[in-house]
Amino acid sequence: MFMVNLASANKRIASFERDALKIVFFSPFLKMEFGMQKRVLGLIILIMCLSTAAIVACSGGDSSGDGDDTLSDFSVDGDADGDSDVGSDGDSDTDGDSDTDSDADSDTDGDSDTDGDADGDGDTDSDGNGTCAFECLAHCRSWNGTQMEGACEDGLRCCEGADIPDTSSDADADADADTDTDTDTDGDTDSDGDTDSDSDWDTEVNGDCTEMGADDKFSFFSTSYYHLMLLAEEDGRGDQGFGGDLRYKGASTGLEGADAICQEIARRVCFGHKTWHAFLSASTVDAVDRIGDGPWYDFDGKLAADSPSDIINNSADRLPGGCCDDGTYDEMGLYHNHKVDVNGDGVGDDDDHDTLTGSTPQGRLDTSASTCDDWTSTTASGQPRIGHMWPRMGLTGFGANWASDHTAGGCAAGITLTNSGGAGGSNTVGSAGGYGAIYCFAE
């Protein structure tokens, strides 16, 4: 661009105008015919215009303040930078920066950041998800794309319309270097940092669980009153448990639902990484054939049984491993032995020994009438077969067998925690002392 010294130019123009006036008013010009005068005046005006342009082009000086005094400062756009736009940045666009794209930064990528890529997020990839007004941490466990109080560590918040600060070199919208859309580096589609596809933030499938202190070998328990009642209420069954219908969460069969009950209860105490099955017989399968190969250990790490054959060939009434001679642990570490408060009412010495099995002492189906229509009914005409999680009168004889001792009053849901003897005169699974508990074994 050329440069212009306007003060010098104006001075020269004024001098030229004075000379022209002398010619017009004090020369023979006045004696010319009118037509000739017009032609002379036109010529004078033309000469004045050409002289002004020459003065502007050649006078030198720096009117834009950019440090040179060349013709590069001459422009017709009304600003002082010498280019053809109305910005003062020295380029030919109107965005006010020093490049020739149409954004407001100084790179050439066409967006509004300075990172050199084609998005506006400030990082070096092209996904458009970078930092925002609130810096987000890479471990927002419950991120769902909205601003959430307390969702991030250190009191920072996630931001509307952005995932987290994205400084990775891949083209997805998160801050790690894998190609999924979460914020961990494990390559799956959740953000919990493990290698499965759930969002429980652990190395298993346990989710929001409570460690109860079980032995690592823990693989056998009787269901606690607390969790069985809780799951029943969550499933819309009321406050009396499941009764003989164990189709939890809409399971298609009673056995499938019973397995799901075992699995969910185990998960809530952080043992959901094992596969659990209910010790229940039905018309299609014997209980002993559906619990895996063993060995099995109780909450305290004591042996329950080594194998299915260990159960089948057991001649004693209690489990062959010796763990449960006096009682049985539930998943919460409560030892059921007729000396504890199982429902938290402060009374204690609860009579809760009856446990649904539908089985013989060897774990085989008892009769077709002993399973509440394969664990799908609370109104079936039969009476479910039950075992005792603790022996009522000693280690042998009546009241001692863990898998098969007598039948309950019926298949209806119900709780009886006082010693009533026999079936208790009602048609519930807990009529003779219990709440419809089941045994759970892990494969």
**pTM: predicted TM-score of the whole model, two decimal places:** 0.56
Residue 66 to residue 56: CA distance in whole angstroms: 17
Structural tokens at position 90: 């020295």
57 or 13, which is more confident: 13
**DSSP secondary structure string for all residues of 212-247:** ----TTB-EEEPPHHHHHHHHHHTT--SS--TTB--
Helix or strand holding residue 435 (H, E) = strand 434-442
Question: What are the extents of the domains in the chain?
Answer: 1-100, 117-203, 212-443
Tell me if residue 37 falls in helix, strand or coil: helix
222-244 residue pLDDT tens: 999 999 999 999 999 999 999 99
Task: Give the pLDDT band (50/70/90) at residue 398.
Answer: confident
Query: DSSP readout, 245-287?
Result: B--GGG-SSHHHHHHHHHHHHHHHTT-TTS-EEE---BTTB-G
The Cα–Cα gap between 149 and 156 comes to 8
Please give the DSSP secondary-structure letter assigned to residue 48: H
Residues 153-210 have pLDDT tens digits of 333 334 333 344 444 555 555 555 566 655 555 555 554 444 455 544 344 478 889 9
| pLDDT given at position 150 | 39
Q: Quick one: pLDDT at residue 163?
A: 40
Tell me how far apart the alpha carbons of residues 388 and 400 are, in angstroms, rounded to a whole number.
Answer: 7
Reported as type and span, the H/E element at residue 329 is strand 328-329
CA 370/CA 380 separation, integer angstroms: 10
pLDDT of residue 83: 56
Q: What percent of the chain has pLDDT over 70?
A: 53
pLDDT of residue 178: 60
pLDDT higher than threshold 90 for residue 10? no
Q: Among positive and negative, which fits the CA dihedral 202, 206, 211, 217?
A: negative
Peptide bond into 295 cis (omega under 30): yes
Query: Average pLDDT, whole number, for the chain?
Result: 74
Nearest one of 226, 295, 210, 258 to 440, comparing CA atoms = 258
Percent of the chain with pLDDT over 90: 46
Residue 283 has pLDDT above 50, yes or no: yes
Structure tokens at 129: 């998800």
Sign of the CA dihedral running 299, 303, 309, 313? negative
Q: Could you report the per-residue pLDDT of 327-382, keeping only the tens digit for each?
A: 999 999 999 998 999 998 888 889 999 999 999 999 999 999 999 999 999 998 88
- The helix (run of H) or strand (run of E) holding residue 303 is strand 303-305
**C-alpha to C-alpha distance for 103 and 333, rounded to whole angstroms:** 66
Position 94 pLDDT exceeds 90: no
CATH superfamily of the 212-443 domain: Mannose-Binding Protein A, subunit A (3.10.100.10)
Q: Which helix H or strand E contains 385, and what residues bound it?
A: strand 385-388
Higher per-residue confidence, 361 vs 133? 361
Residue 61 pLDDT level (bands cut at 50, 70, 90): very low
**CA nearest neighbour of 118 among 96, 103, 133:** 103
The average pLDDT across 42-68 equals 54
Question: 234: buried, middle or exposed (CB in 10 Å: 19+, 13-18, 0-12)?
Answer: exposed
pLDDT of residue 132 exceeding 60, the answer is no
Q: How many residues does the chain have?
A: 443
Instruction: Give pLDDT, residue 146.
Output: 36
Q: How confident is the model at residue 47 (pLDDT cuts 50, 70, 90)?
A: confident
pLDDT tens-place string over residues 98-120? 666 666 666 666 666 666 666 65
Distance CA 5, CA 145 (A): 58
Q: Distance of alpha carbon 193 from its chain centroid, rounded? A: 11
Chain-centre distance for alpha carbon 184: 11
Q: Tell me which of 126-140, 244-258, 396-410 is least confident.
A: 126-140
pLDDT at 423 over 80: no
